[in-house]
A and B are shown apart, each in its own frame.
Chain A
Amino acid sequence: MTGILVLQSLISGLMIGAIYGLLGVGFSLVWGAMKVINIAHAAFAVLGAYLAYALLKMFGLDPVLGFFVILPFLFFGGMVLYRYLIFPVMRARDIVVSSMVLTFGCAIIIENLISLIGSPDPRVFTTRYTGKALFLGPFAFQLPQTVGALMALGGMAVLYIFLKKTHTGKALRASWQQPEAARLYGINLKRISMIAFGLAVASAGLGGIAMGFVYSFDPHTHNLWLIYIFLVVILGGVGNVLGTALAGLLIGLLNGLSLAFFPYQWVNVITFGVLILILLVRPSGLFASEV
C-alpha cells in the first residue's frame, strides 16, 4: 500500500513540477536573453490566473479556453512593457540590479491593482471537472491537476519548438549567445527582445492558470511562486530551457516525495534544504548551461 502511496505522490509531484517548469522557462528566457531578472514574472502569472478566473465567473468560459482569449493581451502587454519600461533601463551600468528594482515596482503595482479591482481573498477555479478524477489501475489522476499539467507541458513544448525550429527563435538564441555578432548578421535585437518578453509574459499567464488548477491563489501568492521559479531556474541553469523544464519536474518530485514522508509544514524546509545542498555541490546548476 505504501508503494502505491509513494507513486501517487510522485505523480502529483511531477504534475506540479511541470507547472513550475513552465513558469521557470519564461523567466529563464528573459534572464538569458536580456540579462533582466523579472521579479514581476510571478505577478504576471497571478494576473493570468485572475483574468481567467474573471472570464470563468462572468462568461462561464473554461480557463483552458480563457487562456486563448487573454493570450494576445498578455503577449502585447509584455511587448509594450518591454518597449517603454525595460528597454530604456538597458542603458544602466548594472542591468541586473536596475531591472530588479524596476520589476519589483511592477510586481507591487500588479499585485495591488488586482486586489483593488478584484478582492484579496483566495480564489480557486471551479469548473465542471473540479473534484473529479481519472482512475488508471490503482492510481487516481485528479482532473484539474491533470489539465494544469497538460497545459504546462504543452506550453513548454511550444516554447521549445519556437526556440529550436523557427527563424525568430534561432535569432533569439543567437542574440543571447553573441549579441554583437547577432547584430552584425542583421538581427534587430530590440524587436527580438520585445518578442521574447511578450512570450515570457504570455507563458507566465499560462503557468498561472495551470497553477490555479492545483492551488488556490490570491494577489500575494506571487511571492512564494517567485521563490519556486528562482529555484527551478537556478537548478536548471540560466537560459537552458530543457534543463529548466527538468529542474521543474525534479523539484516537483522532491516536493511530492517529502510530502509522502514528512509532516506538511516541513515540506518547504526540506525542499529548500536539499536545493541549498545541491547548489553547494554544483554551484552553476545541475545541468551545464547550454543555449
Chain B
Amino acid sequence: MKPFLKTLLFLCIAGALALPWLSPPVYFVSLLFIVFMYVVMAESWVLIGGFAGYLSFGHGAFLGIGAYTTALLMNHFHLSPLWVLVSALPAGAVAACIAAVIGYPALRLRGPYFALITLCFAFVMELVVKNLDFLGGPEGLWLKAMGIDVGLARGIFFEVMFVLMVVTVLTVRHIEFSRFGVGLKAIKEDEEVAQTLCVHTPRVKLSAFVLSAFFPGIAGGLYAYYLSYIHPETVFNIDISILIVLMALFGGGGTFMGPIVGAISLSLINELLSAFLKAEYARVIYGLLFVVLILYLPDGVMSFFRKGKSADT
C-alpha cells in the first residue's frame, strides 16, 4: 500500500473514532451507523457470494435472527441495556448455527438454485417470525430503553459498530489472501476441478457460509438495540437481502474492497436522494444509477480502478 493511502486510512479511522465525541448532529452519527452496518453485511456476504460465487439472497435473514436473539436475551434475562455489547455475540453465534443448519443442504445446490433457496429462506423466516407469538408476532418486540442521553447512546453504538466493521473487513481481507480464500475462489472458477485439487469443497463452502452469517448476526444484535423496537418487516425485510447483494456487486464482488465502496456509496446516495427529492423521483434516479453503472462498467465500480492491471483476476 502506498504511504499516502496509508496515512489517509489512519486519518479516516482516527476521524471516525473521534467523531461522536465532537458533538455532531445526531443525524450524522445515525446515518454513519447504518452505513457501517451495511458495510459489515456486504463485506461478510462477499465471503460466500463474492469469493465462492454462491449468490446468497437471504443474508438479510441473519440480521433479523441476530436482532431477535438479542431482543429475546435482553427481555428474558432482564439484562441492563449496556449488556447489549455482550449479548450481541451470542446473537452472532445463533445466526451462525442457523446458517450451518440451512447451509448444509442448501450448499449442495448450485448457481441460481442456491440463490433461490436462500431467498425463500429469508421469506419464510419473516413469515414464521410474524406468526410465532413468543417472538412478538406481527406486533414486534420492544426493548428496554437505555437510561442515558440519546446522543451518548448513539455515540456508543457508533463506536461498537465501527469496531465490528473494522474487524469484519480485516477478517475478510485476511481470508482473501489465505489458503481458505484461494479454495473459495477455486470453487467459483470450477467446483469439480477444485475438488480434484484436494479442496474439501463442502466443508470450505459451509465454513464460509457460517462465517458470513456470524457478522451480520452481531450487527443485527446491535441494530435491534439501536432501534429499540423490532418488527419482522423491518429486520427481516427482503429488500435488505437484495440490497446487500447489490452493494457487493455494485462495487465488484470478487474482492474485499468492492463491498466497502458499494455499501458506502449506495447507502449515502440513497440517503442524499431521499433527503432532497420526492420519494418516487429519488427511487427513479436510484434505479437509473444501476442501469447506467452496469451499462458503462458491467463488472462493477472497482473494475474501473483495476483497468490498468491484468484483466483476468
Interface residues, chain A, CB within 8 Å of chain B? 31, 37, 85, 88-89, 91-94, 96-98, 100-102, 104-109, 111-113, 115-116, 223, 227, 230-231, 234, 238, 265-266, 268-269, 272-273, 275-276, 279-280, 283-284
Contact = CB atoms under 8 A, between A and B. Distances in A.
B205 to A, nearest CB: 14
Given A105-B291, A108-B287, A112-B280, A93 B298 contact: yes
Contacts of B250: 101
List the 8 closest pairs (A to B, CB-CB), nearest first. A105-B290, A92-B298, A108-B287, A109-B287, A105-B291, A112-B283, A102-B294, A105-B287
Interface in B243-299: 246, 249-250, 253, 280-281, 283-284, 286-291, 293-295, 298-299
Contact of A101 (B109, B111, B238, B290): B290
Contacts of B286: 105, 108
Nearest to B291: A105
A276 B284 CA distance: 34
B198 to A, nearest CB: 24
B258 to A, nearest CB: 12
B102 to A, nearest CB: 9
Interface stretch (B115-123, B158-166, B169-177): B115-123
B105 A280 contact: yes
B116 to A, nearest CB: 5
B167 interface: no
Given A89-B298, A234-B112, 4 more contacts: A101-B246, A105-B289, A108-B290, A276-B121
B86 interface: no
Given A88-B295, A116-B284, A97 B109 contact: no
B299 A92 contact: yes
B298 A234 contact: no
B284 A89 contact: no
Interface of B: 55, 105-106, 108-113, 116-117, 119-121, 123-124, 127-128, 130-131, 238, 242, 246, 249-250, 253, 280-281, 283-284, 286-291, 293-295, 298-299
A37 B249 CA distance: 15
Nearest to B102: A276
Contact of A109 (B113, B123, B284): B284
A220 to B, nearest CB: 10
B127 A265 contact: yes
B137 to A, nearest CB: 10
Contacts of A109: 283-284, 287-288, 291
Contact of A230 (B116, B127, B249): B116
